[in-house]
Amino acid sequence: MRHGKARFAIGFLFAPVALYVYYVVWPYAQAVGYSLTSWGGFNPEKTYVGFKNYRELISDPLVHKAFWHNVFFLVTLPLVSILLALFFAFLLNVGGRSDKPGIRGVRGAAFYRVVFFFPYLLSLVLVSIMWGAIYRGDENGFLNGIFIKLGWVDREHPLKFTADPTPFLGVPRVLWFILIITIWAGVGFYMVLFSAAMQSIPKDIYEAALLDGASRSQTFFRVTIPLLREQVSTVWIYLGFIALDMYAPVAAITRGGPNDASQVMGSIINRYAFVNGRYGYACAIGVALAIFAMLLAIVQALVTRRAKIEY
């Protein structure tokens, strides 16, 4: 009987596993092989150069700049997105009026869930194009148009937004505006995820905390966040992968400009491969980025690992 189940499982999984290996694993393996060559991408000749591409990327200033831009997103995107998502989820589930008995969310919580989640249904490219029109650096831009009518901005000197490479807190301003786009597009999804996790927490725990004199903010930091540690850890890893990508908003709005102020690893891979015709070098950058992402995910999972709380 067991052998029959094993044969059934193997037969059922063979096709999807084979497709996954052919269309996902094998291209990754090919990228590793190409990274050891000087292949130009359009000719069949591939000259083996060993680890020359990897030695070059270590000293490439454009790679350094793009990498630190991704590090900026790696620090800010998960932190801000998770805090906002937790805050909104808490309000929609537990943050109702305290002058009434029972644990409830704010009035109209179901409506707010739909409103917050809606941007996630849109493609990030579409969202980026829309925000590109909002950030447009002339009088026809949505924000500049409002500011000019209010007299806050001179018509001859509109705000540049995503065309502004000047630093703010040591980071080009254009990156801060791209960060806002990514947070706006995704925070609703994480809010729904955390909201579902909060609904699985027994209301008795919140009621006991409130009876003991805990405030709403104390229940948020001392009850909600500790009980959602596993979900927060998973979302943090997922957002870390997104932060190491960031290609879609950069390609849709700035194309890495101005003056490479918004370059990220994904955009320079595209430049070296499709503009400069250096597919081997681009593959080396991609492989190095993949290794860094996997190591980062492993470290983060080990740091946040702890025994699961039962309730």
- Per-residue pLDDT tens for 157-195? 888 888 888 888 888 999 999 999 999 999 999 998 888
CB crowding 265-301: b at 16 or more within 10 Å, else e: bbbbbbbbbeeeebbbbbbbbbbbbeeebeebbeeee
- Per-residue pLDDT tens for 252-302? 898 888 888 999 999 999 999 888 888 999 999 999 999 999 898 888 877
Examine residue 13 and state whether it is found in any structural domain, yes or no.
no
- Judge whether 243 and 77 are in contact, CB under 8 Å: yes
Examine residue 310 and state whether it is found in any structural domain, yes or no.
no
Examine residue 164 and state whether it is found in any structural domain, yes or no.
yes
> ω into residue 165 within 30 of 0, thus cis?
no
Examine residue 119 and state whether it is found in any structural domain, yes or no.
yes
Number of structural domains found in the chain: 1
Residue 55: per-residue pLDDT: 92
Examine residue 230 and state whether it is found in any structural domain, yes or no.
yes
For the chain, count helices (H), then strands (E).
Answer: 15, 2
Structure tokens at 260: 């490479």
Examine residue 196 and state whether it is found in any structural domain, yes or no.
yes
Distance of alpha carbon 304 from alpha carbon 306, whole angstroms: 6
Residue whose C-alpha is closest to residue 130's, from 174, 185, 70? 185
Q: Which H helix or E strand runs over 64?
A: helix 61-93
Residue 123: per-residue pLDDT: 87
**48 φ/ψ angles, rounded to the nearest 5 degrees:** -70, 125
102: left (phi over 0), alpha (psi -120 to 50) or beta: left
Residue 226: per-residue pLDDT: 80
Structure tokens at 118: 């809606």
Residue numbers of the domain that contains 100 = 35-304
Q: What is the biggest distance separating any 2 CA atoms in the chain, rounded to whole angstroms? A: 80
- Judge whether 205 and 223 are in contact, CB under 8 Å: yes
Residue whose C-alpha is closest to residue 86's, from 199, 190, 184? 190
Examine residue 12 and state whether it is found in any structural domain, yes or no.
no
**114 φ/ψ angles, rounded to the nearest 5 degrees:** -65, -45
CA-CA-CA-CA torsion sign (147, 150, 153, 154): positive
Low-confidence ranges of the chain (pLDDT < 70): 1-4, 95-106, 305-311
- Residue 40 burial by Cβ neighbours in a 10 Å radius (0-12, 13-18, 19+): middle
Residue 1: per-residue pLDDT: 46
Examine residue 163 and state whether it is found in any structural domain, yes or no.
yes
- Judge whether 289 and 265 are in contact, CB under 8 Å: yes
Structure tokens at 310: 């039962």
CATH value at residue 285: 1.10.3720.10
Residue 114: per-residue pLDDT: 83
- Judge whether 265 and 66 are in contact, CB under 8 Å: yes
